[in-house]
Structure 1
Amino acid sequence: MGISIWQLLIILAIVLVLFGAKRLRNVGGDLGGAIKGFRKAMKEDDEPAGGEKLEDQKADRVIDGEVTSKKQEKA
Structure 2
Amino acid sequence: MRTKTKNMLPEERLLNLIKQEKELKDYNANTAHLTANPSDKPNEETKPVWVIKRRSSWVFVLLLLFFFGISVYFKLID
The verdict on a shared fold, with TM-score over 0.5 as the criterion, is no
Give the TM-score band, short-chain normalised. Answer: 0.3 to 0.5
- Larger relative contact order (C-alpha < 8 A, sep ≥ 6)? 2
**Which structure's CA Rg is the greater one?**
2
- TM-score normalised by structure 1 residue count: 0.43
- TM-score normalised by structure 2 residue count: 0.41
Instruction: Write 1 or 2 for the structure with the bigger share of helix.
Output: 2
